[in-house]
Amino acid sequence: MFGGKCPFGHKPSDPFKAKREAGPVTRYEFQGEQIPMILRHADVRKAAKDWQTYSSDAPFRVPIPSEEEARSMRQLPIETNPPEHSEYRAIVEPFFNRPKLPEMIAQVEALIEGLLRDAIARDTTEVVHGFALPLQARALTTLLNTVESEADLWIGWGIHVFRVRGGLKKGVELEDYLRRKFDEVSKQPGSCFFSALTQASFQGRPLTREEMMGFANLAFAGGRDTIIHTVACTLGHLAANPDALAFLREDPKRITLASEEFFRFFMPLTHIGRVCPVATSVHGENVPAGGRVSLGWASANRDEAVFPQADEFKIDRKPNPHLSFGFGEHLCLGAPHARLILRTLLQKCVELVDSLEIVSAVERVEKEHSYERTLGYESLVLRIRPKA
């Protein structure tokens, strides 16, 4: 099937292509630390499953850049290994499986339809902050089973609760908010995510406040910017490639395959860290005990050995074993939520939208010491026209 041009020449860059073709791993500098990045699809998947060699039991050091200065508690369950990881994960899985429930599906459908109708009613809409950020925040209230008005505060935190242009910020607002929420629900529990954590237990004992904070911290930080940038990239691509929307309109059953290609092609998260408990040779690169390794999700998603014409967007790509939600034990808890949002967005565009036009766009560029990666938008202004 067709690929398509990206808006204003925008196309997610692949700064790892030459390195990946030359070998399975290369070193990049992050925060003054030389970290080997595993680049190829098969090797990334293998490492993601090998938690004994590549450990997640490393508070603050799983994200790259590391977040020692951004938060004060371990994120749960992501910064743990089995078997603790599985036990922690089971505590919150009922909430992260809510996107499969008919009532939540209906809520997300109503939310996205309302946002799209509002955007259609305006002459233009700024998508990143004016559409995707409110969508992510309000959809999160449905996931966490809390009141939608909470989203008004969350929107004010911006695209990422820790990251800003050029570095990290201290997540004081988030941590203060979470302390207040847990104090509130401890006195008057309900059926929301926060209440469930105050009533949960781990290995026969109640969760500590720090553990509750760790779960909630990840819920707000883990899938925030990734969903926002994926939504913006999706609408930008539909605007630049009207044939894509027409293709989906011909047969909405095509939306499932299309959404997976959007996740692959517009992969917001470049990589994630792991720590080697003992000195390890990573495809010939020596890593000392306690040293970090990067799992290159974005590089793996462009591996030509797995994805023919990997640099092209193929709306009906099949198979599509992308790694945008990770792999193995730490497969993203929020994957069902992200899939519900994107598939519903595409469905509502098919139902309500005649065309999208790019009015202006400012590209987003991830700048690191050793590379730059273009992906998505700092700002994207669209004119969205309704179906007759």
Whether residue 165 has pLDDT greater than 80: no
Domain range for 300: 7-386
Is 301 part of a structural domain of the chain? yes
The pLDDT tens digits for 275-314 are: 999 999 999 999 999 999 999 999 999 999 999 999 999 9
pLDDT computed for residue 160 by the predictor: 83
- How many folded domains does the chain comprise? 1
Residue 64 DSSP symbol: S
pLDDT computed for residue 3 by the predictor: 40
Q: Which two tokens stand for residue 123?
A: 């002459």
- Respond yes or no on whether the N-terminal peptide bond of residue 83 is cis (omega within 30° of 0): yes
14 in helix, strand or coil? coil
Residues 16, 21, 24, 28: is their CA dihedral positive or negative? negative
Residue 200 DSSP symbol: -
The pLDDT tens digits for 127-164 are: 999 999 999 999 999 999 999 999 999 999 999 887 66
Is 239 part of a structural domain of the chain? yes
CATH of the domain at 148: 1.10.630.10
Is 322 part of a structural domain of the chain? yes
On the 0-12 / 13-18 / 19+ scale of CB atoms within 10 A, 107 is buried
Task: Tell me the C-alpha distance between 256 and 344, whole Å.
Answer: 10
Is 151 part of a structural domain of the chain? yes
For 100, phi and psi rounded to 5 degrees? -90, -10
The pLDDT tens digits for 12-38 are: 899 999 999 999 999 999 989 999 999
pLDDT computed for residue 167 by the predictor: 66
How many C-beta atoms lie closer than 10 Å to residue 354's C-beta? 14
Average pLDDT of the segment spanning 363-382: 94
